Each structure stands twice: as C-alpha cells, then as structure tokens.
Structure 1
Amino acid sequence: MYEKVGSKWVLKRVSPAVTGKSGLSFTKKEGDGATPTGMYLIGDMFGFAAKPAGVKSKYTVTNKFHYWVDDSLSKDYNKWIYYRGNPATRWKSFERLNHSLYKHAIIIRYNEKPIVKNAGSAIFIHRWRSSSTPTAGCIALSESHLTVLMKWLDPAKKPKIVIGTSDSIKDVLKNQ
C-alpha cells in the first residue's frame, strides 16, 4: 500500500496477495482466469458480514439476492444486480455476492464507463482460500490484511489500485 506524499509515493504497508490462476493479463477476457493489469479506481465495499468498525467506504451487507453479472451477452454485464427471481433464467453466468470468500470485499472499478463486452467482470479484492491458492481473476488477501486495507482506504482521497509487473507498475506510478 502506497500513499502519495507531496510528489513521492511512500510505502505504508506490504501485504502478501494472490492473483488469478492464469496470472496477470494486459488483455483481459471474460473467463480467462487472469487478473487485469492497469490502474483502477477503488469502489464500494460489500460482504455477507457486518461492516467492520472503522471502514469509511460505502458498504453493503449482501444476501442471496445480490449478484454480479458476468454474462457478456446480457445488458446487465459487469453490473451489480439485486434480483429476487431465478438468476439461471435471466443470465447464463453470474456471481453470487454472498459467496463464502466475500465475507468482506472491495470492488475494483474495472471495465466500466464504458463497459466492454467480454473484457472481464467482477474483479474484487477479497479474502483468500490460502496464501498459495489463486483466484478466478480477483486479488485475494488474508482476512486480517483485507480488514486493514478496508479501514485504511479513504473514499474522499479517491484511492486507486495499480496491478501489474514491477516494470509496468513503475511506469504507471512515474506518470502519476
């Protein structure tokens, strides 16, 4: 975690993380199992558990009616939808937001404005299964590191995440 102080980026904390089972991708595609590279705004937070004390961001407690749509043929693609009907009759592919890995999660605002069909969806920071188990394309941290990150993020500062190789991250930060 870095914070910009004046014109310099200052390291504040190091957190081990896991990424997608297919590694990092500079050309993310829906379902490829890769984590998209680039710089993205951090969005709202959610989880099936209560909002942790000290979290400043908007937080939604999820239930069985909260979905993130990854059906690239749907008008709902890459959107959070609250739906009380049978999701399998509305979408070919979706993610339930009350999933066990989403006790707490942070939305990475990837592939929006405009949403590009089949470019990837539902990219979050969430808790990991283990320190050596990759994700389907998200970033995962230990639950304790995730909670620290959630409390540290201040939406008033418009936080961003930079995902990439050491060289690509240096290039992005150099231009910020």
Structure 2
Amino acid sequence: MKREDLVLTPQGIRFRNRIFPCSIGRSGVTSAKAEGDKATPIGVHRVTGLWYRADRLARPAGWARPIGPRDLWCDESDHAAYNHHCLAPLAASHEKMRRADPLYDVVLTTDWNWPDAVAGRGSAIFLHQWRRPGYGTEGCIAFARQDLLWILRHIGPGTKVIVPGPARLA
C-alpha cells in the first residue's frame, strides 16, 4: 500500500498520511458482494470517474464530468446496462445521479463489477458525500463534503481504494 492509495481502516480512510472519517455499507464489508446487501465489497478498487453537480459547485478537478438531469446508473441485474451510466428514460431499475439531496453533488465511481458487470454482484459502489457521520450506506464509502473535496483534488483516475477484510479492520 502506498500513501497515494485510499485505505479503509477502523478509524476511516487513510490517505496521504491523514485519516478521513467515513461511512461504509450498513452491513459492513463483504467478500461475497450481492446486489442490495448493503455491504462494501472487500478488495482493491480503482477510481474510474468523477461526476459533479455543476449547478451546485464549481468543477472540482479537470477530469470531472457534470451530472445532467438525464444521468442515471442502472442497478437492474439482468439489464444490458447493469452497473453502467445510462440516460433517462430507462425502464430498468436505476439510481438518479442528479439527486435532490447533496449526496451525489460529487461522486467518484469505481471499477467494482465494471466494466464487465456480473449480474447480481453489486452496482454503484461510489465514493460520495455522507448523510451524517456514522450513517451507513448501501455499500458505498461516504465522507464529509469538505473531506471528499480535499481527497478528490489529490487523486485521479486509477487511484486505488483498498477495502481489507474484516479481520484487518478489527
């Protein structure tokens, strides 16, 4: 592990010799990730993209892509677009990237089960803003807004997000 990696620890994410408090999936971490299990997948994941709400904040980095009103993320396991960005209208189950709340004002996507998604193995494992400290996610890793903005200014596509097994988190 390098100081440029984002590494989950019991105290939060370690990055560049700092610890950032974070929230993970309500069900903890798992090596057997399944769609809807509310767990954060164990493994080494890579950052694949940066999305942001241009109507709410300035472009946070040169590689950031604005979230538009039609941007969605498909979470229907048997759909051809499963665990991929897509555009509305979409009849399949999906998450809206442009949310009313601030959770997805800034979103880092990862390569969990992407680009060749396996049906039912989990989708939309993102790094995003938390609701509040300690509030579990659906499987993502979530941060205070100011910490997320600091982190994304120091990373780029391909940055590793390392989620060790539960024994290493204890």
Same fold (TM over 0.5): yes
Q: Please, what is the CA RMSD of the aligned residues?
A: 2.2
The list of structure 1 runs, each at least 4 consecutive aligned residues, that deviate by more than 3 angstroms after superposition, is: 49-53, 165-169
Whole-angstrom distance in 2 between the partners of 1:50 and 1:125 = 17
* Structure 2: gaps of 5 or more residues: 6-14
Which residue number corresponds to residue 153 of structure 1? Answer: 155
- Does 1:3 find its partner at 2:4? yes
Which residue number corresponds to residue 60 of structure 1? Answer: 65
For residues 97-136 of structure 1, what are the structure 2 equivalents within 5 Å? 97-99=97-99, 100=101, 101-136=103-138
Higher RCO structure, 1 or 2 (CA under 8 Å, sep 6+)? 2
Tell me the matched-pair count.
Answer: 156
Q: Give the conservation status (yes or no) of the 8 Å contact 2:82–2:123.
A: yes
Letter in 2 for 1:45: L
The structure with more helix, counted as a fraction of residues: 1
Which residue number corresponds to residue 77 of structure 1? Answer: 82
* Structure 1: gaps of 5 or more residues: 5-9, 170-176
Of all paired residues, the percent bearing the same amino acid is 26
TM-score normalized with structure 1 length: 0.80
Letter in 2 for 1:160: K
TM-score normalized with structure 2 length: 0.83
Pairwise CA distance, 1:154: 3.1
1:107–1:51 distance in 2 versus 1, CA, 3 Å:
farther
Q: Secondary structure at the match of 2:150?
A: helix
Whole-angstrom distance in 2 between the partners of 1:152 and 1:51 = 16
